[in-house]
């Protein structure tokens, strides 16, 4: 275990439980390729108190769209 990881684990052990866990439910529109029963996905991450999962997802999608646009412009 590296020193950074060990320090991070120690910090989490001292944190109040409400700082360690939380969840957000996001409903995405169905796609034509989705199965009839739909999908449920679980995303586990360290999170960020100042950025919601939805904001992070939007940021990733925007970066992806810009990358595709640049690729198509070549």
Looking at per-residue confidence, does 20 or 1 come out higher?
A: 1
Query: Using CA atoms, how far apart are residues 17 and 72, in angstroms rounded to an integer?
Result: 47
Minimal CA–CA distance to 41: which of 64, 55, 25, 30? Answer: 25
* pLDDT for position 9: 80
Residue 19 has pLDDT above 70, yes or no: no
Q: What is the pLDDT of residues 30-57, one digit of tens each?
A: 888 888 887 777 766 666 667 777 888 8
Q: Do 47 and 21 meet the contact criterion of CB atoms below 8 Å apart?
A: no
Residue that is written with structure tokens 């910090």 in the block: 11
Average per-residue pLDDT in the chain?
Answer: 77
């Amino acid at each position: 275990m590296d020193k950074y990881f060990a320090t991070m684990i120690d910090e989490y052990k001292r944190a109040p439980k409400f700082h360690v866990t939380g969840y957000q439910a996001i409903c995405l529109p169905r796609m034509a390729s989705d199965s009839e029963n739909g999908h449920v996905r679980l995303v586990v991450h360290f999170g960020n108190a100042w950025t919601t999962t939805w904001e992070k997802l939007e940021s990733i999608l925007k970066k992806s769209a810009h990358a595709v646009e640049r690729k198509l412009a070549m």
